[in-house]
């Protein structure tokens, strides 16, 4: 999963109504996410190119922030409206959430402008027009009053649920997994913007040359990442830049890049990526194996494979084969034929709540166990491709133990011919991220990396 979060520099509108088109776009995206199950990052990618850079940052902040803080916003709105929120017309509710988010989190925007903009949005939104007066009254009340958090001493879980805007069951899980203090720190991190990490395409030049070109195109380059191909931007990546079009870089979280680094394929190797869409890790692997190597990108999602092919073309990689396959059933390749296999399995996404805040409102308590059953089947099939002395990296962008060590332990109990590589290659890049067993675990509140679990499993020599 890639990092596309954008931190907004707040500004004060110069005139009433300024930015209405930006807010109307944010509102439309919010409604599609809430009412139609769309994904915010995909919609932002489609809509943002039509706007100037400042408006892009504002729209992104409004969309991701309103979604992330929905629980906290709804807690206040329920008391301001005096009625169950599920009885309020969806468009009107979305407008009030958007307005309240600005009142509470964009403190440099004048409150009267936020209220006026909310009313204007209602008047130009057909199915919310009749609610303009109601929206005006609620927003004006919100400028005068604040709703106190539920007392922590009375019910700590309820307090954290509201304060940090996560579903109650998720708060309970985080506390069970990490303890109260770490859970609170993690949820606070989930509500912050992720680092703007990119992967430099070292097949197109040296790190120094690529960084120089990005700076020439006015990219703000921050501190370097752990791997040579990782860079962290001070501001958002510009997808309308010549550097992006020319395939000089690809947005990809640093933790995602480290997963590929853990596999450490040799130059010229043939590697299988068994859940390849949308192609970030597959194209990373092509750089590591070099032009004499080959990557077989497998995935059940045809559109995802098409996107991966487009990414490979933009980056200039030709050493990929794309195969549609359901790895939960069987691998369409010869058994024990490869030295290196990657399985970044489909998962709940518990570790990516910063980039995909809607996930927290869509997951259910039984999802980790349900995904673990699928992941175990996929790992068993993917591992069957590994020859003796070969390796497979299993990873998920999830914090749920069921999807991480739970899957790996279940796999190892059934396949004694495999063991965890306790000293995986490239250990210098991941040394402080590995536990005593050799597995990598990252969290947003610990170093700012997305939440990943990764284990490198080696097949014993015959």
Angstrom distance (rounded) from CA 231 to CA 252: 10
Structure tokens at 270: 């043939």
Confidence of residue 300 (pLDDT cuts 50, 70, 90): very high
Structure tokens at 453: 């679990």
Q: What pLDDT does 130 receive? A: 83
CB atoms within 10 A of CB 385: 24
Q: Where are the domains of the chain?
A: 20-144, 160-190, 196-251, 254-459
CATH fold for the domain made of 20-144: N-utilizing Substance Protein B Homolog; Chain A (1.10.940)
Q: Do domains 196-251 and 254-459 have the same CATH topology?
A: no
What are the tens digits of pLDDT across the range 365-408? Answer: 999 999 999 999 999 999 999 999 999 999 999 999 999 999 99
From the list 292, 253, 251, 250, the residue with the least C-alpha distance to 270 is 292
Q: Which of 121-135, 186-200, 330-344 has the lowest mean pLDDT?
A: 121-135
CATH fold for the domain made of 196-251: Alpha-Beta Plaits (3.30.70)
Q: What pLDDT does 301 receive? A: 95
**Mean pLDDT to the nearest integer, 81-87:** 93
**Mean pLDDT to the nearest integer, 206-227:** 92
254-459 belongs to CATH 3.40.50.150: yes
Higher pLDDT pick, 12 / 84: 84
Contacting residues for 46 by C-beta, under 8 A, at least 6 apart: none
Q: How far apart are the first and last CA of the chain?
A: 36
**DSSP 3-state of 419:** strand
For tokens 């597995």, the residue is 439
Q: Pairing relation of β-strands 386-396 and 440-442?
A: unpaired
The catalytic position among 397, 400, 434, 457 is 397
What are the tens digits of pLDDT across the range 234-244? Answer: 888 888 899 99
**DSSP 3-state of 383:** helix
pTM, two decimal places: 0.92
Contacting residues for 370 by C-beta, under 8 A, at least 6 apart: none
**Plot region of 51 (φ>0 → left; ψ -120 to 50 → alpha; else → beta):** beta
- Secondary structure (DSSP) of 314-357: HHT---EEEEE--TTT--SS-TT-EEEEEEE-----GGGTTT-T
Q: What percent of the chain has pLDDT over 70?
A: 96
Phi, psi dihedral angles at 232 (to 5 degrees): -115, 125
Contacting residues for 47 by C-beta, under 8 A, at least 6 apart: 25, 28, 29, 59
Q: Is the per-residue pLDDT at 320 higher than 60? A: yes
**DSSP 3-state of 372:** helix
The length of the chain is: 462
Confidence of residue 49 (pLDDT cuts 50, 70, 90): confident
Q: What pLDDT does 167 receive? A: 98
Angstrom distance (rounded) from CA 30 to CA 60: 11
Helix (H) or strand (E) holding 451: none
What are the tens digits of pLDDT across the range 154-177? Answer: 999 999 999 999 999 999 999 999
Angstrom distance (rounded) from CA 274 to CA 332: 11
347 is a catalytic site residue: no
Q: What pLDDT does 230 receive? A: 96
Structure tokens at 421: 């590589």
**Mean pLDDT to the nearest integer, 433-457:** 95
Angstrom distance (rounded) from CA 23 to CA 402: 40
């Amino acid at each position: 999963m890639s990092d596309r979060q954008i931190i907004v520099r707040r500004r004060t509108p110069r005139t009433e109504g300024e930015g209405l088109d930006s807010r109307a776009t944010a509102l439309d995206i919010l409604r599609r996410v809430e009412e139609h199950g769309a994904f915010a990052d995909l919609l932002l990618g489609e809509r943002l190119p039509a706007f100037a850079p400042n408006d892009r940052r504002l729209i992104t902040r409004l969309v991701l922030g309103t979604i992330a803080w929905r629980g906290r916003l709804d807690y206040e709105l329920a008391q301001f409206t005096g009625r169950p929120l599920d009885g309020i017309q969806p468009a009107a509710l979305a407008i009030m959430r958007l307005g309240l988010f600005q009142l509470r989190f964009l403190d440099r925007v004048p409150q009267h402008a936020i209220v006026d903009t909310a009313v204007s949005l209602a008047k130009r939104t057909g199915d919310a027009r009749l609610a303009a007066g109601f929206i005006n009254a609620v927003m004006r009340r919100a400028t005068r009053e604040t709703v106190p958090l539920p007392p922590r001493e009375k019910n700590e879980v309820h307090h954290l649920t509201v304060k940090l805007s996560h579903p109650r069951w998720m708060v309970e899980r985080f506390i069970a997994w990490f303890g109260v203090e770490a859970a609170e720190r993690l949820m606070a991190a989930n509500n912050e913007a992720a680092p703007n990490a990119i992967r430099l395409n070292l097949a197109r030049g040296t790190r120094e040359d690529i960084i120089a070109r990005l700076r020439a195109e006015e990219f703000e380059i921050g501190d370097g990442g752990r791997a040579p191909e990782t860079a962290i931007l001070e501001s958002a990546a510009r997808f309308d830049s010549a550097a992006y079009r020319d395939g000089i870089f690809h947005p990809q979280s640093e933790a995602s890049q480290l997963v590929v680094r853990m596999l450490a394929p040799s130059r010229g190797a043939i590697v299988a990526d068994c859940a390849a869409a949308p192609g970030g890790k597959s194209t990373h692997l092509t750089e590591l194996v070099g032009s004499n190597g080959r990557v077989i990108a497998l995935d059940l999602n045809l559109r995802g494979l098409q996107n991966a092919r487009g990414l490979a073309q933009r980056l200039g990689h030709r050493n990929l084969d794309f195969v549609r396959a359901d790895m939960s059933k069987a691998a369409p390749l010869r058994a024990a034929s490869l030295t290196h296999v990657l399985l970044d399995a489909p998962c709940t996404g518990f570790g990516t709540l910063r980039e995909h805040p809607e996930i927290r409102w869509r997951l259910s308590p039984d999802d980790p166990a349900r995904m673990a059953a699928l992941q175990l089947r996929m790992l068993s099939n993917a591992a069957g491709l590994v020859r003796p002395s070969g390796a497979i990296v299993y990873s998920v962008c999830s914090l749920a133990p069921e999807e991480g060590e739970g899957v790996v332990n279940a796999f190892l109990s059934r396949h004694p011919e495999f063991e965890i590589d306790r000293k995986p290659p490239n250990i210098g890049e991941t040394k402080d991220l590995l536990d005593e067993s050799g597995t990598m675990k990252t969290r947003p509140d610990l170093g700012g990396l997305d939440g990943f679990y990764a284990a490198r499993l080696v097949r014993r020599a015959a």
